[in-house]
Amino acid sequence: MQHPSYDDFWKNMIPYKQEFTKINIPILTITGYYDDSQRGAMYYFNEHNKYVKNPNHYLFIGPYDHWTAQTKPDDVLRNYSLSKSALINIEEDLLFQWFDYTLKGMKKPSILKDKVNFQVMDTDIWMHKPSLSAMTNDTLTFHLNAEKTKDFYALQATPNSTKIQMSVDFKDRTSMNNTDYYPWPLEKDNINLKDGLLFKSEALNEDLIMNGSFLGNLEFIINKKDVDYSVTVYQLTPENKYFHLSYYIGRASFAKDREQRNLLVPNQKINISFDNSKLISKKLQKGSRIVIVVNVNKNNSAQLNYGTGKDVNVESIKDAKTPLKITFTGNSSISLPIWKN
């Protein structure tokens, strides 16, 4: 709690920047699309590849959570049925094969056909690529738009001049915001239509595969010096089921620099970007729509950032006198990494 930024306290715990150049052992990173520690695992993979050219480092990732990524997947993960190809005994097969390969000079595990190995949900296939960037060959970009149909604002392909307003009263403890960002279950009939700003795209005109981490570029005006915000991405299937694809939660004052807090200037236009959302690979069927929920954190599972600019750890409900007011512009965009066959 005394170290909210990525300062020396944290840097001394793990390899940092140039220290990755000293790591020359074989490494297998295993994680899952719904592993709460996925971003930590990906930090090591990304930084190792950033500071070492073509390291002996492999990534294995699929439709697993933290537990099943370390042991053996069940047939069903949070009400989603895994394909047969995803049912790999990680603990007893893959790990022993990896150690036989690295320590005894035996054959490399057959699933590790390239440096990045990932199972495509809603198919029975694995894909194998030399890098994370090679996972995609296209991008699907949506801009927020104030045009509204029933409960949903529009997602459009081009920037626009519209504005979408949102207000959050931190004094009001009878309601919460951002209660549905966590993916449990993975597929459901409905989402909370009164929580956050909801945006929906037109139907996809072809099958696509979402491969990787979605990107965000939010432009807004706010009456506070900081805000904890979230973006959740769903696939609305042709059967009108909401499938949780990925999410991101961030603190705006750390968007530019995780090591140094940069407070926002109230009532001036601000642009913040993020690129380290939860990674996923899943087929999106023709006729599906993309639903995006943009929100502000206010719930009983999270620290509250009242936006005063003080250390969030010392803020209290005494700092909640003025409701947070935020206006997103039509320049705000969410980009999905796509693979087209």
pLDDT in tens, 215-237: 999 999 999 999 999 999 999 99
| pLDDT, position 341 | 87
Task: Kindly report whether the global pTM for this prediction surpasses the value 0.95.
Answer: yes
* CATH 2.60.120.260 is held by the domain 138-339: yes
| pLDDT, position 14 | 94
The answer on pLDDT for 189 being more than 90 is: yes
CB distance 330 to 143 below 8 Å: yes
Mean pLDDT of 151-178: 97
pLDDT in tens, 5-58: 999 999 999 999 999 999 999 999 999 999 999 999 999 999 999 999 999 999
Confidence of residue 92 (pLDDT cuts 50, 70, 90): very high
| pLDDT, position 314 | 95
Mean pLDDT of 140-159: 98
pLDDT in tens, 122-137: 999 999 999 999 999 9
| pLDDT, position 1 | 86
- What is the C-alpha separation between 203 and 207, in angstroms, rounded? 11
Mean pLDDT of 230-251: 98
Mean pLDDT of 257-270: 97
- What is the C-alpha separation between 129 and 115, in angstroms, rounded? 6
Mean pLDDT of 95-112: 98
- What is the C-alpha separation between 338 and 341, in angstroms, rounded? 10
According to CATH, the superfamily of the domain at 8-135 is: Alpha/Beta hydrolase fold, catalytic domain (3.40.50.1820)
Q: Which of 77, 132, 141, 323 is nearest to 223 (CA)?
A: 323
Strand ranges for 79-192 from DSSP E: 80-81, 116-119, 126-129, 138-149, 152-156, 163-168, 187-188
Residue ranges covered by each domain of the chain: 8-135, 138-339
**What is the overall mean pLDDT for the chain?**
97
The answer on pLDDT for 325 being more than 90 is: yes
CB distance 330 to 145 below 8 Å: yes
Confidence of residue 81 (pLDDT cuts 50, 70, 90): very high
